[in-house]
Chain A
Amino acid sequence: MSEFLPTGIQLTYLVAASLFIVGLKKLGSPASARQGNFLAAVGMLLAVVATLLDRQVLSYEMILVGLAVGSLIGAIAAQKVAMTAMPQMVGLLNGLGGAASALVAVAEFWRLMGTSQAIPLDANISMLLDVFIGGVTFTGSMIAFAKLQGLISGSPVTFPLQQPINALLLVGFVVGSGYLLVAPENLPIFLAVVGVSLLLGVLFVLPIGGGDMPVVISLLNSLSGLAASAAGFVVMNNMLIIAGALVGASGLILTQIMCKAMNRSLVSVLFGSFGKAGVSGGGGTEDKTVHSIDPEEGAMMLGYARSVVIVPGYGMAVAQAQHSVRELADQLEKMGVDVKYAIHPVAGRMPGHMNVLLAEANVPYPQLHDMEDINPQFEQTDVALVIGANDVVNPAARSDAASPIYGMPILEVDRAKHTIVIKRGMSTGFAGVDNDLFYKDKTMMLFGSAKDVVGKLVSEVKQL
């Protein structure tokens, strides 16, 4: 009986890996996504149970306690977190995954140090890779979390000699690793290499600003997968290698999509911090006038329009205005207005951020339209209502080759008959570029916090 156990475990891993693949596939379509998530969870449960039966596992009590504690914390966190805090939550969980992977390598190193046999070269390389990727994922995600949570400034943090210091640390890692490959049994050097990896993670995310967060979060997501894969090479376990590779691939795809939506390369996101270079946007500072209106006028324009397209941005998330927005849309629909939402792929702080918030406010997802889908429709739109979005609707991206955001695909709200922009003030968006949209004749500005203004619009529309 007992000799069949290892085969049984491997076969269970095979089932679990298949469940992951099927689960991810189903996560790609709204109708089956929930089932997909469930299947992946079942796969995970199978994999964990099979591993507990492994003959290598000698002590159960503490592991079971660890599993119970982790499950409890995870379940409570998942219940308590507000939907608006989802980017931080994803960042934090990513970090924990990375930390766990890195710890596997450190623990394995310590275990091998305790034994009399020499550490084999391939195990050594795997451990160093795992420590590096896992360590960077851990501290990088923690910085991303701190930025998104507002614990530290969300704007790019730069300091003199940043690139040389990073390069020096990287060289330090390579030299330390090289030394360890020759003389593996050296704990202080190993720990130094771990430290350098952790420091690199911090320095890697620190100079990246809030608007680039969708890219960073996806990239960290990918790295957390690769870290798990590396941990799989450390303990030579296919289950980890497969699951990690799947996550690595999915994160990479998302990273690509996000970069494309900003028309920036990954390298420029990571190393060229945006909105820092003293950009003088567009036409400089000749007097341009803005048309400011009050909510009553705004309500009138919206209420008597035939079609309205709502363009939400990070400002809506910050003000938590999604429920008011939905209320406004309901009122307008009652008056016979055709209401749609236009979602830019990088609106907000993580991929799909706006979709999650509007889903929370009970907006049915067929009402949300992608950029390619909605852009041709703006010309027939009476009013485009921009709520807390800026760079993603800046026409300079289309017309001004000198603008730093030139070439970025935008939502073409300026083609609508009228545009109403809800904004707190005239400050620039994340890219630090002035927005010509605000000075156009057919653009009306409604100044104030998204939640207040939309709330006022709702009550004004009711009185029409």
Chain B
Amino acid sequence: MTEALIAALFVFVLASFAGFEVINKVPPTLHTPLMSGANAISGIAVIGAILVSGANEGQVSVILGLIAVVLATINVVGGFLVTDRMLQMFKKKEVKA
């Protein structure tokens, strides 16, 4: 295995632990927003898509990469906006409409 791969594995494992620590004990009220917010973050694949299609090597590769860009961006933008829409509704006190 290459050194780069080992380094990447370190990053992966440590980030997973950070994730467990940070997200533990989320109140049930926020389960859905947490999930859709995290979901938006998983759209980070957009970066991989940009790198692959941006390399501009081979038509098929570029086209597949561009499709990935579109799908991941829908994931990102849709995810963050819908989470925000949900969170707007969570209120401590009643608000007179």
Contact = CB atoms under 8 A, between A and B. Distances in A.
Interface of A: 17, 20-21, 23-25, 27-31, 33-34, 36-38, 40-41, 44, 47-48, 51-52, 54, 56-60, 62-63, 66-67, 69-71, 73-75, 77-79, 81, 83, 86, 89-90, 93-94, 96-97, 99-101, 103-104, 106-108, 110-111, 113-115, 120, 122, 217-218, 221, 224-225, 227-229, 231-254, 257, 343, 345, 350-353, 355-356, 359-360, 362, 364-366, 368, 370
**Nearest 6 CB-CB pairs, A to B?**
A70-B73, A249-B19, A352-B31, A57-B54, A74-B77, A74-B78
Contact of A90 (B25, B36, B72): B36
Contacts of A234: 48
A79 B11 CA distance: 36
B74 A93 contact: yes
Given A93-B39, A250-B34, 4 more contacts: A21-B18, A60-B54, A94-B39, A104-B48
Contacts of A33: 30, 33, 87, 90
Contacts of B37: 23-24, 27, 36-37, 40
B12 A241 contact: yes
A37 B71 contact: no
A104 B32 contact: no
Interface residues of B, number: 87
A356 B48 contact: no
A355 B24 CA distance: 19
Contact of B47 (A48, A79, A115): A48
A107 B61 CA distance: 4
Interface in B36-60: 36-58, 60
Nearest to A347: B28
Contact of A97 (B24, B35, B45, B85): B45
A24 to B, nearest CB: 5
A52 B27 CA distance: 37
B32 to A, nearest CB: 4
A366 B51 CA distance: 45
Nearest to A68: B73
B66 A75 contact: no
Interface string B73-97: 1111111111111111111111101
A110 B61 contact: yes
Contacts of B92: 30-31, 364-366
A364 B91 contact: yes
